[in-house]
Amino acid sequence: MESKQIVVFKLLEHEFGMDIIKVLEIQNYESIRPVPEVPDYIEGIINVRGVVFTIFNLRKRLNLPLHENLSHSKLILMNLKDNRVGFIVDSVSEILTVETMHIEESSTILGKKEVSCIQGIIKKADQMILLLDVDILISETQEMMPLGVNDENNYSSNSK
């Protein structure tokens, strides 16, 4: 049987998941440099060992109540096609291995239009984990980004 490994994390009391295959690392929250003229759910950018990541606030992106103190939050850093992105989450709970047959399509429960960023639902004991489609989470943002924000060589090539 085919299985997936999922990074399970919390936003408020809700559990969400992302496919681990795209995760580069998980780290503690660090100071983020703001970038002008981007959607409000983009907190800014960080430099991790010479690579620039665009940081999304998942609470804002998913229209959840905001958290004033981010110092205990975690950053999930990912490589998505040509984009290096990070997501601010409250905490990371576990790495879960799930058989794909146990991931229920969200469209069967929620309908397609309303929640296109929900890839599926994992039922685990008495809880449900919403599996996010990170490519869809960032897709509509790509056209709105200032030129060069997702170019990992941007700062080294433009600095004199």
Report if residue 18 sits inside a domain.
yes
Chain mean pLDDT for the chain = 83
Q: Is the pLDDT of residue 148 over 60?
A: no
- For the entire predicted model, the pTM comes to 0.81
**Count of domains for the chain:** 1
6-10, 140-144, 154-158: range with lowest mean pLDDT: 154-158
Cα separation, 18 vs 16, in Å, equals: 7
**First-to-last C-alpha distance (Å) of the chain:** 54
Q: Is the pLDDT of residue 23 over 90?
A: yes
Measured in residues, the chain has a length of 160
The contacts of residue 84 (CB under 8 Å, 6+ apart) are 24, 51, 52, 53, 54, 77, 78, 150, 152
Report if residue 152 sits inside a domain.
no
Domain hosting 26: range is: 3-144
CATH number, domain containing residue 34: 2.40.50.180
Q: Is the pLDDT of residue 104 over 90?
A: no
Report if residue 99 sits inside a domain.
yes
Instruction: Please state, for a pLDDT cut of 70, what percent of the chain lies above it.
Output: 81
Cβ atoms 5, 21 nearer than 8 A: yes
Report if residue 13 sits inside a domain.
yes
User: What is the structure's pLDDT at 140?
Assistant: 62
Report if residue 7 sits inside a domain.
yes
For 77-93, the pLDDT digits (tens) are 999 888 899 999 999 99
Report if residue 156 sits inside a domain.
no
User: What is the structure's pLDDT at 155?
Assistant: 36
Q: Is the pLDDT of residue 123 over 90?
A: no
Confidence of residue 35 (pLDDT cuts 50, 70, 90): very high
Radius of gyration from C-alpha coordinates of the chain: 16
Q: Give kind and range of the element (H or E) at residue 157.
A: helix 154-158
Report if residue 31 sits inside a domain.
yes
Cα separation, 104 vs 109, in Å, equals: 9
Q: Is the pLDDT of residue 112 over 90?
A: no
Report if residue 150 sits inside a domain.
no
